Amino acid sequence: MTVPASLLGLLEREPSHGYDLKRDYDQLFGRGKPLPYGQVYATLSRLARDGKVIAAEVEPGAGPERKRYVITEHGVGELEAWLAEPVPAEPSLQSVLFVKVVLALISGRPAETYLDAQRAAHLQRMRELTEVKRSGRTVDALLADHGLFHLEADLRWIDLTAARLGRLAEEVRS
């Protein structure tokens, strides 16, 4: 839903061409993952089919499609509803890592070493995000912070798990 909602949000500012929408999307939300043109036009087609945008007119000119898209009232309503709805507060359970730890303990392998490797990987990513934050714009810094806080939460879980490995081993081996 994020891409359709983002395009609706960008269209609410002003009617735009697919090309401009892609450029603005990449600039604000892309972060190294630019939106493919195919997805822009496929999304716009679906939004038009569902009456959330209309393709105003085809402008003359060479090159790619020159349709200007305009958001409809229905589209604005959809955008408002999406904005107001809280994102599900799903804890990102460390299921894979948890399974690794439990299996390591059951089989007598070095669970703490595995946790340390994960810790190192997390800290490496945090270093990269910190560099993004130090050198980037506020938009980049806020996105980097979001990642940093989540990684930090994971690390706390890793620390607690490392501290409880003895108890966990007793439980899973019994």
Binding site for another protein (CB under 8 A): 116-117, 119-124, 126-127, 129-130, 134, 148-149, 151-152, 155, 159, 163
Query: Which C-beta is closer to another protein: that of 34 or that of 136?
Result: 136
Query: Which C-beta is closer to another protein: that of 48 or that of 151?
Result: 151
Query: Which C-beta is closer to another protein: that of 37 or that of 149?
Result: 149
Separation between Cα atoms, residue 157 and residue 30, nearest integer Å: 29
Separation between Cα atoms, residue 66 and residue 68, nearest integer Å: 6
Q: How far is the CB of 158 from another protein (least distance, A)?
A: 10
CB 24 within 8 A of CB 10: yes
Q: How far is the CB of 63 from another protein (least distance, A)?
A: 44
Dig out the tokens for 31 from the structure.
């972060």
Q: How far is the CB of 52 from another protein (least distance, A)?
A: 38
Q: How far is the CB of 122 from another protein (least distance, A)?
A: 7
Q: How far is the CB of 20 from another protein (least distance, A)?
A: 35
Q: How far is the CB of 47 from another protein (least distance, A)?
A: 38
Which backbone phi and psi does 90 adopt, to 5 degrees?
-90, 120
Query: Which C-beta is closer to another protein: that of 7 or that of 132?
Result: 132
Dig out the tokens for 75 from the structure.
């589209």
Across 88-126, b (16+ Cβ under 10 Å) vs e yields: eeeeeebeebeebbeebbeeeeebeebbeebbeebeeeb
User: What is the enclosing helix (H) or strand (E) of 84?
Assistant: helix 73-84
Query: Which C-beta is closer to another protein: that of 80 or that of 159?
Result: 159
Radius of gyration of the chain (CA): 23
Q: Residue 36 in 3-state DSSP?
A: coil
Query: Which C-beta is closer to another protein: that of 98 or that of 149?
Result: 149
